[in-house]
Structure 1
Amino acid sequence: MNRTAAGFAALVTIGALAFLPARATNVDLLGLDVEGVRLGMSTSEAGAALDNRGYDQIKGTSFQKKDARGVHYVGLKLNPGGEVISVEVAHFLYEGIDPDAHRDTWVENWGEPDNRMGNAGHDWNLTYENEVAVLDKWAKTVPRSELRTRLVSKNEVIASRRGREVSSELCMAIKDKPVSLLNVTDRENLMECIRTGQLRIVAR
């Protein structure tokens, strides 16, 4: 996948969940970013987001990357319209992890889970669920350090994309901005402008 195109298509959410209400049922699961992928993304959008994070497509909707920390896998499930309805990420890490610390971070970010199972110091599985999706988080140390995230839509077809509205004024400002000056937020806004039809890509 062309990395220049990936730069335009990468949708990155930074700290978006820090200000969400503490109750699990209020977590914006449709707006949640998992390795750059959100539920409802098209195949090309999801692939570009993963490409931007260094993942290689190894087969169909499976992606992988290796780095100094370990081996990382991403698996997508699509509906018949080519939208992402499930994303699962597995990080197999070389260094040890603290499952309790990860559990505490998840609770701090999203509040108490709807379901929690675990063994202090060894493994935890927290589940957050609302009317539209389910989020599972795992952390374990046996037989190896592993972190997993699975986000699944409850609906086969996602009726509408999430994301905040981008004003026409902002779309025009981004259009006139040199490509070399576009930051992460600009690229995210740009894709929303294109998705909502406020900007179009045309051949010159």
Structure 2
Amino acid sequence: MNEKLAKEKNVIKYFKKIEKEGGFGNSVKDQNKFKEKLKEDHTKSDFLLLKERYDIEIETNKDTSFFYNLIITVLITALTLLCTLMVCFFTISTQVMTSAINTKVTTTIAEEKFKKMSSVDQNDLLTGIYSPIKKEINDLVLGGFFPFIAFGTSILIVGILVLMYLYTRRVKKTRYYHMLIIECISDIEDKEKELKQRREYRRKTRH
């Protein structure tokens, strides 16, 4: 058995330590060189051992894929809940401000002083009463509601993309090395078969 592999406690991490030599993420040419070096440094039994471990890793990835889906679902649910709370807050705040301003308008219109004003002065007064609520609603929407939604959505998207990247890279890397191990085993078996055929041929030609 390869000395480095024999000392490794977790063989799944074995390739991570030697992949800089031309493993996952490198060009096809470098990957082929890496594979040839692996065949030089490892025996068939080494590759069979690694294959068993990577078979288990692939099955584990399949079994735990729901966990990543669960995290994404939780993130979406959390954002939906927060958005719902913000909408409720916005609705209630708007209703309270509208109710207060309508009460003030009703009281103002009922006053004798208001009735004696010209239509221009009346419009100016009512405009002055309605202006605060327009400003409050504008500040509430533009200053709090939409920035919060935009921030929450950005966090959600970034979180989902990061999780997808990490999980996809992990799965791709596992499957890549699993494929590489199978190719090495196949190459060794082909070479063994070829050597066996040569020995058989030599044996027959001697007789």
Q: Normalising to structure 2: TM-score of the pair?
A: 0.19
Please state which structure has a larger fraction of its residues in strand.
1
Structure with higher Rg: it is 2
Instruction: Say which structure is richer in helix.
Output: 2
Q: Larger relative contact order (C-alpha < 8 A, sep ≥ 6)?
A: 2
